[in-house]
Amino acid sequence: MICYMWSWLSAMVPFFTKYVIGAGEQEMGILFLAMFITSMALYALWRKVVIRYGSKQTLIMAVTLFVAFLFPVLVVGNFMQALTMMLFAGAANSGITLTREVVLSDVIDEDDINTGVRTEGTYFGVNAFIERFAMVIVGGTTALALGLSGYVPGLITQPPSAVFGIRLGMTMLPLAALLVFLISLKYYP
């Protein structure tokens, strides 16, 4: 679900940048750059959080914050507001990128203790399959969300329903992914 949220954001930010805040491709690049620079800058802080709370709790915190920091999309009206939102999303993204592989490694180690067999390849293979499948789902949900909201390719100004659909899609679909993620984490050791 994390891969779905990342891919969904990557798919929708161009529409958000162009049709919601009325910015260009250069500003879109700046939004992504701000998110990634913030992510890199906060790794040390998230490392301390992992040490204090453990990888599972830290991942839950980071993913929850990531989704929460996308909710301003519902009201953001200009580039500076969008930039601020992406800086906060980057702060949460830092925790996600730091801990998601740690959590997978914890599962692999727990499986080794329980079975006596190292199965890293299987786990990483299944993980890669799930990530690829998430990207396929993003393509379908992007087409569905834009189509249902009244998005018309090629229009310079989209109808208000399409703008609202972009805003709603950037919040509700990651929220749904978060719920699936939290439910699946109940089965984490």
% of the chain beyond a pLDDT of 70: 99
Digit-coded pLDDT (tens) for 7-56: 888 889 999 999 999 999 999 999 999 999 999 999 999 999 999 999 99
Q: Give the pLDDT score at 2.
A: 78
Count of domains for the chain = 1
CATH of the domain at 165: 1.20.1250.20
State how far the Cα of 109 lies from the Cα of 164, in Å rounded to an integer: 45
Output the average pLDDT for the chain: 91
Whether the predicted pLDDT of 189 surpasses 70? no
Whether the predicted pLDDT of 1 surpasses 90? no
Range of the domain at 153: 2-185
What mean pLDDT comes out for the span 82-107? 92
